[in-house]
Protein backbone atom coordinates (compact mmCIF):
# COMPACT_ATOMS: atom_id res chain seq x y z
CA UNK A 1 0.00 0.00 0.00
CA UNK A 2 1.31 3.47 -0.87
CA UNK A 3 2.02 5.39 2.36
CA UNK A 4 1.91 8.86 0.71
CA UNK A 5 0.41 10.44 -2.38
CA UNK A 6 2.92 11.24 -5.12
CA UNK A 7 2.56 13.71 -7.92
CA UNK A 8 4.17 16.64 -9.68
CA UNK A 9 4.07 20.36 -9.06
CA UNK A 10 1.98 22.34 -11.53
CA UNK A 11 1.69 26.08 -11.96
CA UNK A 12 -1.67 27.84 -12.19
CA UNK A 13 -1.76 30.16 -15.22
CA UNK A 14 -3.87 32.80 -13.45
CA UNK A 15 -2.64 32.89 -9.83
CA UNK A 16 0.91 31.68 -10.62
CA UNK A 17 0.63 29.40 -7.55
CA UNK A 18 2.48 26.09 -7.67
CA UNK A 19 0.45 23.15 -6.34
CA UNK A 20 0.56 19.37 -6.22
CA UNK A 21 -1.16 17.38 -8.95
CA UNK A 22 -1.47 13.85 -7.52
CA UNK A 23 -0.76 10.94 -9.87
CA UNK A 24 -0.44 8.06 -7.38
CA UNK A 25 -2.87 8.38 -4.45
CA UNK A 26 -1.96 7.17 -0.96
CA UNK A 27 -3.44 3.80 0.01
CA UNK A 28 -3.15 2.57 -3.60
CA UNK A 29 -2.08 -1.08 -3.82
CA UNK A 30 1.54 -1.56 -4.90
CA UNK A 31 2.74 -2.26 -7.58
CA UNK A 32 0.92 0.46 -9.48
CA UNK A 33 1.37 2.55 -12.62
CA UNK A 34 -0.66 5.61 -13.66
CA UNK A 35 -0.15 8.38 -16.22
CA UNK A 36 -1.48 11.90 -16.49
CA UNK A 37 -1.23 14.55 -19.24
CA UNK A 38 0.00 18.11 -18.70
CA UNK A 39 0.44 21.23 -20.80
CA UNK A 40 2.71 24.24 -20.81
CA UNK A 41 1.97 27.44 -18.90
CA UNK A 42 3.24 29.93 -21.49
CA UNK A 43 3.18 30.18 -25.28
CA UNK A 44 6.36 28.79 -26.88
CA UNK A 45 7.55 27.38 -23.53
CA UNK A 46 10.66 25.23 -24.00
CA UNK A 47 11.92 24.57 -20.44
CA UNK A 48 9.99 22.44 -17.97
CA UNK A 49 11.16 21.82 -14.43
CA UNK A 50 9.53 18.53 -13.43
CA UNK A 51 9.37 18.22 -9.63
CA UNK A 52 8.12 14.93 -8.18
CA UNK A 53 6.57 15.52 -4.75
CA UNK A 54 4.87 13.88 -1.80
CA UNK A 55 1.69 15.85 -1.20
CA UNK A 56 -2.05 15.95 -1.60
CA UNK A 57 -4.10 17.30 -4.51
CA UNK A 58 -4.00 21.11 -4.60
CA UNK A 59 -1.50 21.38 -1.74
CA UNK A 60 0.78 24.41 -2.13
CA UNK A 61 4.38 23.68 -3.14
CA UNK A 62 5.77 24.97 0.20
CA UNK A 63 3.83 22.21 1.97
CA UNK A 64 5.05 19.41 -0.33
CA UNK A 65 8.24 17.36 -0.08
CA UNK A 66 10.27 17.34 -3.32
CA UNK A 67 11.62 13.79 -3.83
CA UNK A 68 12.92 14.08 -7.40
CA UNK A 69 13.52 16.74 -10.02
CA UNK A 70 14.64 17.13 -13.63
CA UNK A 71 14.88 20.13 -15.97
CA UNK A 72 13.67 19.30 -19.48
CA UNK A 73 14.27 21.26 -22.66
CA UNK A 74 11.63 20.43 -25.27
CA UNK A 75 10.38 21.98 -28.52
CA UNK A 76 8.13 25.05 -28.00
CA UNK A 77 4.43 24.43 -27.60
CA UNK A 78 1.09 26.13 -27.01
CA UNK A 79 -0.59 25.93 -23.58
CA UNK A 80 -3.89 24.85 -25.15
CA UNK A 81 -2.57 21.36 -25.87
CA UNK A 82 -1.70 18.88 -23.13
CA UNK A 83 1.36 17.35 -24.73
CA UNK A 84 3.48 16.09 -21.83
CA UNK A 85 2.67 12.67 -20.38
CA UNK A 86 3.94 11.83 -16.90
CA UNK A 87 3.87 8.08 -16.23
CA UNK A 88 4.58 7.19 -12.61
CA UNK A 89 5.05 3.69 -11.22
CA UNK A 90 5.76 2.45 -7.70
CA UNK A 91 6.96 -1.06 -6.97
CA UNK A 92 7.12 -3.19 -3.82
CA UNK A 93 10.87 -2.53 -3.40
CA UNK A 94 10.23 1.21 -2.80
CA UNK A 95 11.32 2.32 -6.29
CA UNK A 96 9.40 5.08 -8.00
CA UNK A 97 9.99 5.42 -11.71
CA UNK A 98 8.78 8.52 -13.50
CA UNK A 99 8.84 8.68 -17.28
CA UNK A 100 8.14 12.05 -18.87
CA UNK A 101 7.21 11.80 -22.55
CA UNK A 102 6.87 14.72 -24.94
CA UNK A 103 4.01 13.84 -27.28
CA UNK A 104 5.27 16.37 -29.87
CA UNK A 105 8.88 15.20 -30.31
CA UNK A 106 8.65 11.71 -28.78
CA UNK A 107 11.53 12.56 -26.43
CA UNK A 108 11.47 10.81 -23.04
CA UNK A 109 13.27 11.46 -19.76
CA UNK A 110 13.36 9.29 -16.66
CA UNK A 111 13.49 10.11 -12.96
CA UNK A 112 14.10 7.27 -10.48
CA UNK A 113 13.51 7.62 -6.73
CA UNK A 114 14.53 4.90 -4.26
CA UNK A 115 12.61 5.52 -1.03
CA UNK A 116 14.50 2.82 0.88
CA UNK A 117 17.86 4.40 -0.02
CA UNK A 118 16.62 7.83 1.17
CA UNK A 119 16.49 6.79 4.84
| Tens-place pLDDT, residues 59-109 | 999 999 999 999 998 888 887 788 999 999 999 888 999 999 999 889 999
Phi-psi region of 27 (alpha: psi -120 to 50; beta: other; left: phi over 0): left
Cis peptide before 39 (omega within 30 of 0): no
DSSP state for residue 15 in the 8-state scheme:
T
Residue 115 has pLDDT above 80, yes or no: no
List all residues 6 or more positions away from 17 whose beta carbon is below 8 Å from its beta carbon. 11, 60, 61
Amino acid sequence: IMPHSLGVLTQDKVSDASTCSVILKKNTTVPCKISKMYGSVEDSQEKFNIKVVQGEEGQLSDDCLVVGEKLLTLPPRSPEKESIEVLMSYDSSGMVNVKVKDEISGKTEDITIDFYARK
